[in-house]
């Protein structure tokens, strides 16, 4: 038996979690929300609406237009989004370690 958890952030609705983190990581790699969405098997429209809803609840932009370049355009994550990604990832990582310890403490001697 092992503990599994999910952690996310809310602010009048969900504002960040595993899914948004993955999309933004893929935008960082591909430089495009369209490519990120495609890699996740999600329509561009759905990804766009998701990001817009999160931005609305956060009160900050997560993506900004990448201007110019060889391919002209695309998206990049904002410094605010980078901070959010970093802090959420670190929170999740430490939570994993701590929850494993809590599980061992509370389930010590339990027949499984």
For residue 110, state whether it binds a copy of itself (rule: CB under 8 A): yes
Which residues lie across from 92 on neighbouring strands? none
Q: Element (H or E) spanning 15, and its range? A: strand 14-16
Residue (10 or 73) nearer to a copy of itself, CB: 10
Under rule CB under 8 A, residue 21 binds a copy of itself: no
Q: Is 90 in the site for a copy of itself (CB under 8 A)?
A: yes
- Under the criterion CB under 8 A, does residue 73 sit at the interface with a copy of itself? no
How far apart, in whole angstroms, are the C-alpha atoms of residue 101 and residue 10? 25
Look-up of token digits 């952690």: 7
Write phi, then psi, for 38 (nearest 5 degrees). Answer: -60, -40
Check residue 56 for interaction with a copy of itself (CB under 8 A).
Answer: no
SS3 of residue 76 by DSSP: strand
| Interaction site with a copy of itself (CB under 8 A) | 1-11, 15, 58-60, 80, 83-84, 87-88, 90-91, 94-95, 98-99, 102-103, 106-107, 110-112
């Amino acid at each position: 038996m092992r503990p599994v958890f999910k952690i996310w952030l809310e602010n009048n609705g969900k504002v960040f979690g595993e899914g948004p983190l993955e999309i933004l990581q893929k935008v960082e790699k591909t430089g495009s929300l369209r490519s990120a969405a495609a890699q996740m098997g999600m329509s561009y429209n759905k990804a766009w609406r998701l990001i817009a809803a999160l931005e609305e609840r956060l009160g900050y932009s997560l993506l900004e237009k990448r201007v110019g370049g060889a391919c002209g355009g695309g998206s990049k994550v904002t410094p605010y989004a980078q901070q959010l990604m970093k802090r959420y990832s670190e929170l999740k990582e430490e939570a994993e370690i701590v929850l494993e310890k809590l599980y061992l403490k509370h389930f010590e001697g339990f027949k499984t």
